[in-house]
Homo-oligomer: A and B are copies of this chain.
Amino acid sequence: MSGDRTLHHFPLDPASRQVRLALGEKRLPFVDVQVRYWERPEAFTDLNPSGVTPVLVEPDEAGPLILCETRAILDHLEEAHPEPALLGREAAERAEARRLIQWFDRKFEFEASGYILHEKMEKRLLRMGAPDMANLRQGREGLKAHLNYIEALLAAREWLAGRRLSLADFAAAAHLSVIDYLGDVPWAEFPGAKTWYMKLKSRPCFRPLLADRWPGLAPAPHYDDLDF
């Protein structure tokens, strides 16, 4: 199996999901290895000393190429498999997609998903007890502010970074999709964001994410419904 592209990931990790969406959109097949990152398995920390998912191992003539962390993986995929382009072709398009990727990976995580995923998912995985309701409320407030920002962007654009689907859409959708699995996205209040998410959800690259189930963490009933 040393000749197969292999993704080491956790199904409900937004960073891993961005890579799965990009691999799917580029129609690059891969072998799927699920990592219980919170147990810090040695086979995985040998690959990535930070212990963070995802890691992509790409077969290469000179030996396997080990790509650790989303940034390294997604940038490599754009360079090695440029079609379809997921960062835009012009400098301004690329700048806007990259600005938004950092927006979702830092600001959204800091103000919204960090709270919600810690309280509703990580505490369950790590058996850390009941969610802290004040934290959860803070995350939900942050989420609404970000959904408003997404609506504002989409009022003038078809996709988040402009005319074309990009890694910015995958970043935002990957983060939102885990919150949606947990049933915490108030879609009814944000029709523009909902329409955009529905378009993404219908793409073939999204299908594997909708099939994800994790023992002890049941998804919201509408999670895999394309017409939610």
Contact = CB atoms under 8 A, between A and B. Distances in A.
A203 B21 CA distance: 41
A47 B76 CA distance: 29
Contacts of A80: 91
A66 interface: yes
Given A91-B60, A91-B80, A102 B65 contact: no
A102 B99 CA distance: 16
Q: Is the interface of A mostly helix, strand, loop or mixed?
A: helix
A80 to B, nearest CB: 7
A49 to B, nearest CB: 8
Contacts of A91: 60, 65, 76, 79-80
A156 to B, nearest CB: 14
B50 A75 contact: no
A65 B96 CA distance: 10
A102 B70 CA distance: 9
Contacts of A155: none
A174 interface: no
